[in-house]
Chains A and B, each alone.
Chain A
Amino acid sequence: MITIRILLLSFLTLGFVGPARAQGTAGNQADAEIEKEVLKVEHQKDEALRNRDVAVLDQIYADDLAFVNARGKVITKAEHLDEIRSGQINYLSREQEDYRVHVWGDTVVLTGREKSVLEYHGKVTRLPRQFTTVYIKRNGKWRYVAHQVSPVVDQ
């Protein structure tokens, strides 16, 4: 059966990896458990990005990661990790909100808005960005398999 539950979350991730606050209707227990697991990995990933902890990111990111940055460029896992290691991407703050989690068994699609302040190749950007992230459970672990970002354009 297709089971979908949308969870709306709003929180600051800067120095905060606390319990997720769910809003809206409750889904089934299995989905709620999956959401919790995936958000835990998502928070670990964010903390690793802040701390430039490439070893943790290497474990969470799938080797075949499909990553499209806000400039519409395809980046491989190795290139992305290298940008973090070298400081070409440097998170000055991380702020994410409006998380929506769509659970499809062992595949989870997460969308949200990022307002992090980011230094990218020496340029500071504060523009809000909308992202889609896909997690897939392989061998008992949730892996970050796809991520795409778009700048939010004023309507």
Chain B
Amino acid sequence: MRRILLLSFLSLALVGPAKGQGTARTQADTRIQREVLKVDDERGQAMLKLDLATLDRLQADSLVVVSAKGQVLDKAQYMEQVRSGSMKFLTWAMDQRRFHIYGDTVIVTGRATSVMEVQGKINRTPRRFTSVYIKQQGQWRLVSHHSTVIAEQ
């Protein structure tokens, strides 16, 4: 809990308050941000540990993932990449997370610097992502994730 609050504080300090809907930040938004951050971090830990049960629970059945290579994957295909080890996270790191809060839908953007092993190749290239979380029956679930390689400017 302490860690989550700290992360929440850090992400606020780094990127400023979420301004979903263009309105002032409310207490409810702060709570939502904390909940989504927790689920996002749980998902990261599950990726590192190859904890498929947790990933299954935190990712919607109709999840749509667009990889940094522009591939479209459904939940089964994405989970298979994790299960088979063809996509492996060696570390899980992200920063510049920004939360766009629209009630029960939250859009998270950020930069991922996780070290990955993709089909046996180590990949350290920073990527920009957009994740969409939706709350259904009391649980935040990832419904969409899109990753893009950050090109050198």
**Chain A residues within an 8 Å CB radius of B130:** 66, 68, 132, 134, 146, 148
Chain A nearest CB: distance from B56 CB in Å? Answer: 15
The residue that A111 contacts in the complex, of B66, B68, B69, with Cβ under 8 A, is B66
* Distance A111 CA – B64 CA, assembled complex (angstroms): 8
Q: Is the CB of A2 within 8 A of B98?
A: no
**Chain B residues within an 8 Å CB radius of A62:** 22
* Distance A70 CA – B127 CA, assembled complex (angstroms): 11
A66-B98, A148-B130, A150-B146 known; A155-B69 Cβ under 8 A: yes
A128-B70, A132-B146, A146-B100 known; A102-B64 Cβ under 8 A: yes
* Distance A115 CA – B21 CA, assembled complex (angstroms): 31
List B101-153 residues whose CB lies under 8 Å from chain A. 102, 105, 107, 109, 126-130, 132, 134, 136, 143-144, 146-151, 153
List B85-106 residues whose CB lies under 8 Å from chain A. 98, 100, 102, 105
The residue that A150 contacts in the complex, of B19, B22, B70, with Cβ under 8 A, is B70
**Chain B residues within an 8 Å CB radius of A148:** 66, 128-130, 146, 148
- Chain A residue with the shortest CB-CB distance to B134: A104
Contact with B along A105-117 (1 / 0, CB 8 A): 0110101000000
Q: Is the CB of A70 within 8 A of B148?
A: yes
**Chain B residues within an 8 Å CB radius of A152:** 69-71
* Distance A76 CA – B117 CA, assembled complex (angstroms): 32
Q: How large is the interface on B (under 10, 10 to 19, 20 to 34, 35 or more residues)?
A: 35 or more
Q: Is the CB of B66 within 8 A of A130?
A: yes
Q: Is the CB of B128 within 8 A of A68?
A: yes
Q: Is the CB of A2 within 8 A of B66?
A: no
**Chain A residues within an 8 Å CB radius of B72:** 100, 111, 130
Q: Supply 19 A–B pairs (Cβ within 8 Å), ascending by A.
A: A2-B136, A4-B62, A71-B151, A72-B126, A102-B143, A104-B105, A107-B143, A111-B64, A111-B66, A111-B144, A130-B71, A132-B66, A136-B102, A146-B130, A146-B132, A148-B128, A148-B129, A148-B146, A150-B149
B residues contacting A by CB (< 8 A) are 19-22, 60-62, 64, 66-72, 98, 100, 102, 105, 107, 109, 126-130, 132, 134, 136, 143-144, 146-151, 153
| 3 closest A-B pairs by CB | A152-B70, A72-B150, A130-B70
A residues contacting B by CB (< 8 A) are 2, 4, 6, 62-64, 66, 68-74, 100, 102, 104, 106-107, 109, 111, 128-132, 134, 136, 138, 145-146, 148-153, 155
